[in-house]
């Protein structure tokens, strides 16, 4: 993997003052609600000594979200919580029962599954929009929770626009993990739910020095921003945060290069389907423009190779969930990147395996590919 291309941008605005994106009171509400749900249990924090040795650092540990509420993804923490909050508000505002409420969202798989599961729990209707390249396995998994699934042409951002237009026409309630001007309340609740994953990881971190670095997946930026908020409000000094994106869907890196939130066009073609996003979330960017220390873009082969080596070590983490580790492995093998990110023999790295094999057939195909480890 040390010969693979790596784009790296050190963020010149890191540490600058900014707006409060996720207030602490909102996180306390999310934590109280989610930890009371039947079946709640913290997911595992797994030590990866082989990865630490390969990277020349003191420790590498990954939060394995493959078992979260049986949905196979950390998204259960955000989407389902936001549905519960929204349905509660709508029942009071409209004086109706949950069955009269429809929630809708666009997804590449995991968020839609979480929204569908949340709607099933709340007793409301769910309509989920997916784009052209979402796999049949992911579509079936969403439908398995009782949601109506609608496939549209184009990429993830086209599905977001189709969902928003349909919601406006029919009076449905959008539950999105991306935000835009005038639509921030629900995405903020999604992100507050994500913070529980980080809280658990810090509680599980072994006694002694805390993490010095965290490499986290990009996408629209919601999970990266949630990780950023929680780490910098809980640890002093805060760990260096590196955001990792696919090379053909690096909208956060592009925004950092420009110095303002921007979108990228095209097919956003990547095996890291959960990260195939061309438009950053407004709330996420408001945090990451000063909370992220670096932005990395990696090739698909790095994700597939990392998925395969994790599988050989007994961890079933999906193609999007391995991006943080893939970025770390590439950066640690590149002397210039290693120095820029201050990776040393004393570094301790926290990663998040944000999904398991949410499409088992697709995962098996990736895991079985021939090529370098």
Active-site amino acid positions: 75, 108
Residue ranges of E strands in 94-249: 102-107, 125-130, 148-151, 173-174, 213-217, 240-246
The DSSP annotation for 27-41 comes to HHHHHHHHTTSTT--
45-48-54 Cα angle (round to 5): 150
* φ, ψ for residue 44, nearest 5 deg: -80, 145
Do residues 197 and 190 lie in contact, with contact meaning Cβ atoms separated by under 8 Å? Answer: no
Q: Is 171 exposed, middle or buried (0-12, 13-18, 19+ CB in 10 A)?
A: exposed
295 membership: H or E segment, kind and range:
strand 294-298
| Dihedral, CA of residue 361, residue 274, residue 147 and residue 73, to nearest 10 | 80
Name the burial class of residue 120, with classes exposed (0-12), middle (13-18) and buried (19+) by CB atoms within 10 angstroms of its CB.
Answer: middle
Taking a C-beta distance cutoff of 8 angstroms, is the pair 119, 103 a contact? yes
């Amino acid at each position: 993997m040390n010969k693979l291309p790596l784009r790296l941008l050190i963020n010149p605005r890191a540490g600058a003052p900014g707006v409060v994106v996720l207030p602490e009171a909102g996180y306390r509400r999310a934590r109280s609600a989610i930890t009371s749900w039947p079946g709640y249990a913290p997911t595992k924090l797994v030590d990866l000594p082989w990865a630490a040795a390969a990277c020349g650092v003191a420790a590498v540990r990954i939060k394995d979200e493959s078992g979260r509420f049986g949905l196979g993804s950390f998204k259960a923490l955000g989407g389902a919580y936001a549905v519960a909050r929204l349905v509660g508000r709508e029942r009071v505002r409209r004086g109706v029962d949950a069955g009269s409420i429809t929630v809708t969202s666009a997804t590449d798989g995991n968020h839609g599954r979480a929204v569908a599961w949340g709607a099933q729990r709340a007793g409301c209707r769910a309509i989920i929009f997916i784009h052209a390249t979402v796999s049949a396995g992911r579509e079936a998994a969403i439908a398995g929770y009782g949601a109506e699934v609608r496939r549209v042409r184009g990429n993830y951002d086209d599905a977001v626009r189709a969902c928003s237009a349909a919601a406006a026409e029919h009076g449905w309630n959008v539950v999105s993990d991306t935000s835009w001007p005038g639509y921030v309340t629900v995405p903020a609740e999604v992100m507050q739910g994500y913070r529980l994953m980080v809280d658990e990881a810090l509680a599980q971190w072994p006694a002694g020095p805390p993490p010095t670095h965290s490499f986290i997946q990009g996408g629209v930026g919601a999970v990266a921003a949630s990780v950023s908020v929680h780490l910098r409000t809980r640890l002093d000094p805060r760990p260096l945060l590196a955001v990792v994106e696919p090379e053909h869907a690096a909208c956060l890196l592009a925004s950092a290069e420009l110095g303002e939130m921007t979108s990228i066009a095209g097919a956003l073609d990547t095996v890291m389907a959960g990260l195939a996003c061309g438009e950053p979330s407004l709330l996420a960017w408001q945090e990451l423009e000063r909370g992220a220390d670096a932005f990395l873009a990696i090739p698909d082969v790095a994700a597939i190779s990392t998925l395969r080596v994790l599988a050989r070590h007994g961890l079933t983490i999906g193609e999007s969930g391995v991006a943080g580790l893939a970025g770390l492995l590439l950066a640690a093998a590149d002397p210039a990147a290693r120095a820029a990110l201050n990776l040393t023999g004393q570094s301790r790295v926290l990663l998040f395996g944000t999904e398991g094999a949410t499409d088992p057939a697709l995962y098996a195909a990736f895991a079985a590919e021939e090529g370098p480890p």
